[in-house]
Chains A and B, each alone.
Chain A
Amino acid sequence: MINAFKRKDKKEIIFDIFNTCLMIFICFITLYPIWYTLVLSFNDGTDAMLGGIYWWPRKFSLESYKAVFQNIGIIKAFGVTIARTVIGTVTNVLFTAMVAYAFSKKDLVGRKVYLTIGIITMFFNGGLIPNFLLMKNLGLLDSFWVYIFPTMFNFFNLIIFVSFFKEIPKALEESVMIDGANHFVIFWKIILPLSAPVIATIALFTGVFHWNDYFFGVIYINNPDLQPIQTYLYKVIAQATSNQMLMNAPGGISKANITSTSIKLATMVITTFPIVCVYPFLQKYFVKGMLLGSVKG
């Protein structure tokens, strides 16, 4: 009897050790590419070409970052990204929540029809070309608003909002209703302040979408002044834009020890920095949103 227990213990200890090692390994392969990129971006560009850098910069240098920040194209692209993230997130949350508030009322005339109209959009869509033609006909091609209007509403988020609004006690609204407030006032003054947790979750997902999206910039935008940072980065990575940045670098190529690779790396680090910074603090909201979405879906 005792022997049997011991054998099991041994087996379990081996399992535990193996499992812990595996998890550490997964963490390592997840983090190392990001760390390596960071290290290379802070290393002198020409020196990095020699290879052999794995853990720490060999010849520390900020030249690549200086070159990036002196590039007007990048500054503009950052401006576009920040603008679309802020405006896009605020409009999406407010508009979707407002429609959801109406949809959450059980006695809304036509509620069933409205919900069906929405549910159909979750399963069918026009696809790339009809969407492109729509943007063209709406005059949204090469316009900043192409980032805002088509992403302003999301039926998936609406369902999450509706299930949250249903939990809010009716008595709260009714007390204000007697004072003669209309639904817009109730929505703005009562419902929104009470919905902070769900707003945070949805705002985060929308914000990350806007920050990371490069597709809209590639498909709908030709004007380089209107492309977001991810589209700019895509062009730097996929095409030879970085050579142009080299020419704009202070003192030309010969003086500053930077290469097209080191500029790409620096741009990547700057682009990712805000996400990595906010991520650890907001992780629980992301996870909550993911689970909410999957339960409803």
Chain B
Amino acid sequence: MVKETTLKNCTSKLRKKKKINKFWQKLKRQKELQIMAWAGIIWMIIFNYIPMYGIIIAFKDYSIIKPISEAPWVGLEHFVEFFKDENFYMVIRNTLGISLLKLIIGFPLPIIFAILLNEIRHIGFKRTVQTISYLPHFLSWVVLGGIMINWLSETGIINELLIKFGVLDKPITFLSEPKYFWGIAVISDIWKELGWSAIIYLAAISGIDPELYEAATMDGAGRLAKIKYITIPCIQGTIAVLFILAVGNLLNTNFDQIFVLRNSLNQSMSEVIDIYVYRIGIQSARFSYATAVGLFKSVIALILLIIANFVTKKLKGNSLF
């Protein structure tokens, strides 16, 4: 009896040893693969995970002279400071205002564009329209901002035409007046991304089974009816997923865009969270406070994403996770 158990013990120990040996052999065999993989892991630790760890300075009083670990904890002080800040209301209003307008106007337009473009029968014409509509996506915001500033300036083409046709008596410097800023931001964003955002919908439409359309034709459905009863229902899932993502991105007002178009005169309507973080963080070097503001934004964005996911799941049965 005793012998048997010891024997069993021995064999299991041996097996374990063999297993470990095998593991090491395997590791040795894929030595080069492990080096390749770890090059990527180390990169991610340095450039992704260290900044994630750096977020803790939002709860500390960090100063540039000492390392993060030595900075004293202050709890939620910086968040409270942000909520009490006189700029808080303005920054939140501008961020939400610009983003909501972009969502309400800018989200449906690429869908409509994709559906209408799909109805063009001439293949060459369709391709040409596609090629042209993607082009602005590849221009930088600096160049686009330059074009906007040129067009909207006092001597720009917009003022020239408006005066010529008697709409205005004297030129308006659009970018110096805060009240026009949201409109300018929304329109220029649509101008740049309309065609590019339509790509996914076009792909979804081209994936619809042609038999559905044929059957509808047999039943005497016109093209508008086919759009309404086949195209739109078939791309609903794509729309839902992109909508959830868009809501999750709601607080990410396009930094590149706003940064070019803003100036000291339109600041009251152009100061969004991202710009505010840049100004107080990089320019005024208040690192802890700026990090807290940035973290506040990320948390709200995450909550919005979860809510949007929940609502679309309940309504349409489509969800991201």
Q: How far is the CB of A25 from chain B (nearest CB, A)?
A: 11
A182 near B: Cβ within 8 Å? yes
CA distance A83 to B36 in the complex (A): 26
CA distance A233 to B64 in the complex (A): 31
CB <8 Å contact, B263 and A238: yes
CB <8 Å contact, B203 and A291: yes
Residue of B nearest to A37 (CB): B147
Task: Enumerate chain B residues within 8 angstroms of A19, measured Cβ to Cβ.
Answer: 116, 119-120
CA distance A103 to B274 in the complex (A): 35
CB <8 Å contact, A234 and B54: no
Task: Enumerate chain A residues within 8 angstroms of B39, measured Cβ to Cβ.
Answer: 95, 98-99
CB <8 Å contact, B139 and A153: no
B10 near A: Cβ within 8 Å? no
Residue from B40, B49, B129 within 8 A of A103 (CB atoms): B40
- Interface size class on chain B is 35 or more
Residue of B nearest to A103 (CB): B37
Residue of B nearest to A293 (CB): B200
Q: How far is the CB of B125 from chain A (nearest CB, A)?
A: 7
Interface stretch, picked from B24-32, B228-236, B309-317, is B24-32
B20 near A: Cβ within 8 Å? no
Task: Enumerate chain A residues within 8 angstroms of B291, measured Cβ to Cβ.
Answer: 127, 129-130
CA distance A268 to B27 in the complex (A): 54
B150 near A: Cβ within 8 Å? yes
- Interface size class on chain A is 35 or more
Within 8 A of A (CB), among B293-309: 294-295, 298
Residue from B50, B52, B64, B150 within 8 A of A264 (CB atoms): B150
CB <8 Å contact, A134 and B50: yes
A62 near B: Cβ within 8 Å? no
Contact with A along B144-156 (1 / 0, CB 8 A): 0111011101010
CB <8 Å contact, A268 and B143: yes
Given that A19-B119, A98-B36, A291-B200 are contacting pairs, would A130 and B191 also be in contact in the complex, using a CB cutoff of 8 Å? Answer: no
CB <8 Å contact, B32 and A184: yes
Task: Enumerate chain A residues within 8 angstroms of B54, measured Cβ to Cβ.
Answer: 126, 129-131, 133-134
Given that A26-B113, A30-B191, A279-B135 are contacting pairs, would A153 and B263 also be in contact in the complex, using a CB cutoff of 8 Å? Answer: no
Task: Enumerate chain B residues within 8 angstroms of A121, measured Cβ to Cβ.
Answer: 44, 48-49
CB <8 Å contact, A238 and B260: yes
Interface residues of A (CB under 8 A from B): 8, 11-12, 15-16, 19-20, 22-23, 26-27, 29-31, 33-34, 36-37, 40, 49, 51-52, 54, 95-96, 98-99, 101-103, 105, 107-110, 114, 117-118, 120-121, 124-134, 136, 138, 149-150, 152-153, 155, 158, 182-184, 187, 208, 211-215, 218-219, 230, 233-234, 237-238, 261, 264-265, 268, 271-272, 275-276, 279-280, 283, 286-287, 290-291, 294
Q: Which 8 A-B pairs have the closest CB atoms?
A: A126-B51, A130-B54, A99-B40, A212-B140, A102-B36, A183-B32, A130-B51, A102-B37
